[in-house]
Amino acid sequence: MTMTTPFAPSIIQENFLSLKDYSTDEIMDLLNLAIELKKPENKYLPLLQGKVLGMIFEKSSTRTRVSFEAGMLQLGGNAMFLSSQDTQLGRGETIADTGRVLSGYLDGLMIRTFHQSSVQELADFSSIPVINGLTDDYHPCQVMADLMTILEHFGTLKGKKMAYIGDGNNVANSLMIGAAKVGMDISIASPIAYAPKPEMIALAKQIAQYTGSTIEITDNPEQAVSGSDAIYTDVWASMGQEQETIERFQHFQGFQVNENLVKHAKTDYIFMHCLPAHREEEVTTAILEGPHSVIFQQSENRLHAQKAILVALMADK
């Protein structure tokens, strides 16, 4: 669709479900818009005046809920929290019916849930834009904030190397796809049993053929970190995997981001984490709080990146 506001991209998809759906130019367009909206003079532009975003949560959240709600308010609109336990979703109403009903009330929907198929079904049956706030497969909003942070810090994305150390989860999947789309190199180090799914690796490598980026999967953290510009990690047991914590802790020994591991990175590397962090597990406090850490800039950028997505999808419709 074509946007008329000068603060929105000229090319945008109807929904924001996964970065695989977006071209390199569209992603860069959104990132540049996010950087513009972050400027103090643009913080409260009423680009979504009178618009209402519904936020469906089947998984709890701090950053996702607060950043989307604050973003809508700063843009002049409103956000409505919809817990699955407080709506008919919790009593068996289908995603399809929910999407059709809410399309008559709202201007956009964000959903944070388990299955990617649920997000896709919501988008298929809604007549308003749908945003993926997180699924077990993807976390595209997080990675837009991550790419924004790297772009702010280095001034470019193409040719930069990211090392991701840890679980091959939804963040790792979206990082691979996002890096491939913008021409970054990425090396993911995970225990063999916890590497990203083969189909996700294949998808990222297919994209990388067109952008010149490299996708490396290894079980050697030092190899992954070697020559990296950014080092990224996440918790070893994500939400819903708490019963696996002890087993995972055993498998992930040797995958901690610590003072010894970061010696293999470039001297001006940045450390990233999507938070919340388990200090002294996947990362030491010294690294988390150290001079290379950009975790709170990264966290704040969730707000700005999502405001760009909201404006691109919902403004002037």
- Amino acid at residue number 49: Q
Q: Could you give the CA distance from residue 43 to residue 308 in angstroms, rounded to a whole number?
A: 11
The model carries a pTM of 0.95
Looking at the DSSP assignment, which residues form a beta bridge with residue 81?
A: 55
**CB-based contact 150:159 (threshold 8 Å):** no
**Is 107 an active-site residue?**
no
**Is 302 an active-site residue?**
yes
Q: Looking at residue 130, what is its pLDDT? A: 98
| CA distances in angstroms from 181 to 140, 210, 269, listed in the order given | 12, 8, 21
Q: Looking at residue 284, what is its pLDDT? A: 98
Strands laid side by side in the 215-218 sheet: 215-218, 185-189, 161-165, 230-233, 270-273
pLDDT in tens, 127-150: 999 999 999 999 999 999 999 999
Q: Looking at residue 10, what is its pLDDT? A: 65
88 is in an annotated binding site: yes
Q: Looking at residue 98, what is its pLDDT? A: 94
Q: What is the mean pLDDT of each run of 10 residues along the chain (317 residues)?
A: 54 90 96 97 97 94 96 98 82 91 98 96 98 98 98 98 98 98 98 97 98 98 98 87 82 97 98 97 98 98 98 89
**Is 256 an active-site residue?**
no
Q: Looking at residue 7, what is its pLDDT? A: 72
| Catalytic option among 112, 248, 273, 304 | 112
**Is 234 an active-site residue?**
yes
Q: Looking at residue 3, what is its pLDDT? A: 41
Q: Which residues contact 53 (CB under 8 A, 6 or more apart)?
A: 68, 72, 77, 78, 79, 80, 106, 107, 108, 109, 110, 310, 314
- Amino acid at residue number 128: I
- Amino acid at residue number 203: L
